[in-house]
Structure 1
Amino acid sequence: MSGKFKSLQALVKEKNPQCIWTHCMIHREALAAKELSPGLNIVFTTVVTVINYIKMRPLKSRLFSELCKDMGAEHSVLLFYCETRWLSRGKCLQRVYELRNEIAIFLEEENREEAENFRNDLFIMKLSYLVDIFEKSNILNLQFQGKNTHILQMNDKVNSFCRKLELWNANVKQKNLEMFKHVDECVKTYKAEEQHIRVLFKTIENHLTILVKNFKKIL
């Protein structure tokens, strides 16, 4: 990692102007997975707003924790989203999804307008998709880390992930969501309107297309 050395890039280019500087594969993977379509970005922005509202106020945080305990939830706290930590997005979304019912009740008691989102089947289905896709992205990112890894192995893993994305997109077009366990469970559990189901599938198709394009750029 060269970030801790001030002006290292300029010093290297003084000796060799032809030197090419680029992000490491781990960073490039995180940037490729970061882009969201407008429909999914609204969901993610709302989630971050809710997390900050609860976590940044000690009283609200304690009240929410007590609510979770009273309802027998597996967890009693939310996780902050940190943009500089590559695995943070998937982890905080997972926790929000697991506590979605508790969050809905808490926001209703607080008279927050975001409560409507957590009672909206389309919003929850989009959230469940984000949980699934960032879980897969985090798995790929972790495979890049550790000892004895090199660029050829990483390149093969990105190639493989691109093929998976294309296969998943083909499956979604056939109305098959088995590879995304949370969203598949949501679609089967929620009695969603047919229009919402169509919007969901189109949203997933568009996002997978964006991911394929972005990941092919880092090869």
Structure 2
Amino acid sequence: MAVTKIINLTSSQALNRRKFDALLDEVNSVYNGLLMYNNVRWLSRGNVLQRFVDCLEEIRLFLQNQGKVEEYPQLLDVMWLSKLIFFTDIRQHLNKLNMKLQGAFETKLQVFRNGIITRNYKYFPNLKEYINDLKIHEKPDEDQVTEEFISVIDSSIREFSARFSQFKELSEILKLIMYRRCIN
């Protein structure tokens, strides 16, 4: 994809990165560079596209200064740019949805945890059925089982929170940047 190639051109080589950062500084951009997409943090895709779109004029200028603007005719193609901006908006909506779902799931994990503590297996129908079907002498030590299940849920809560903490931080920063852009 052209966006990836352009980001790599401007960001992966130290000299180009310094030149592009200097250009952004020269035009008083609110940004200090482009974001690199990271497969590990797939939610970053929307932020990468947003930064690219926000810096589009600076990217064109940089490529023109480097004598490489002709290699990327998409940057002047109205249809291609329309699609890019449309997909950028869609990705941002997906990011917002994922954040809402993530928050809801974190809350749900706490509800699950409380259910296990009180041995109310309402949210674990298969486990509830299995335990109910066991004969008295076959039943596991409920304290041990409860501890183990709580440990799994606590671990899930920590992992879930850690995976999205950076995105939460970026989300707040993006809100501030977008707010500042609207004021100016």
- TM-score, structure 1 as length reference: 0.46
Offset of residue 141 of structure 1? 1.1
**Structure index of larger Rg:** 2
Instruction: Work out which of the residue numbers 7, 18, 40 in structure 2 matches 1:62.
Output: 18
Instruction: Work out which of the residue numbers 26, 30, 33 in structure 2 matches 1:77.
Output: 33
1:114 to 1:94, Cα distance in 2 relative to 1, 3 A: farther
Alignment of 1:151-162 (within 5 A): none
Is 2:46–2:91's contact at 8 Å kept on the other side of the alignment?
Answer: yes
Q: Distance in 2 between matches of 1:126 and 1:83?
A: 22
Offset of residue 148 of structure 1? 1.4
Q: What is the Cα-based RMSD across aligned positions, in Å?
A: 1.8
Instruction: Work out which of the residue numbers 103, 107, 112 in structure 2 matches 1:148.
Output: 107
The code of the aligned residue for 1:80 comes to M
Q: Distance in 2 between matches of 1:88 and 1:114?
A: 26
Offset of residue 138 of structure 1? 0.6
Residues 1:119 and 2:76 are matched in the alignment: yes
**Unpaired segments ≥5 residues, structure 1:** 1-44, 151-219
Where relative contact order (Cα < 8 A, 6+ residues apart) is larger, the structure is 1
- TM-score, structure 2 as length reference: 0.54
The code of the aligned residue for 1:57 comes to Q
Offset of residue 120 of structure 1? 2.1
Q: Distance in 1 between matches of 2:92 and 2:66?
A: 31
Q: Distance in 1 between matches of 2:28 and 2:79?
A: 26
1:134 to 1:114, Cα distance in 2 relative to 1, 3 A: farther
Runs of 4+ in 1 over 6 A off after TM superposition: none
Q: Distance in 2 between matches of 1:58 and 1:105?
A: 18
Report sequence identity in percent.
Answer: 32
Deviates more, 1:84-93 or 1:95-104: 84-93
Offset of residue 143 of structure 1? 1.6
Number of aligned residue pairs: 107
Is 2:2–2:72's contact at 8 Å kept on the other side of the alignment?
Answer: no
Structure showing the higher helix proportion among its residues: 2
Residue 7 of structure 2 corresponds to which residue in structure 1? 51
Is 2:34–2:52's contact at 8 Å kept on the other side of the alignment?
Answer: yes
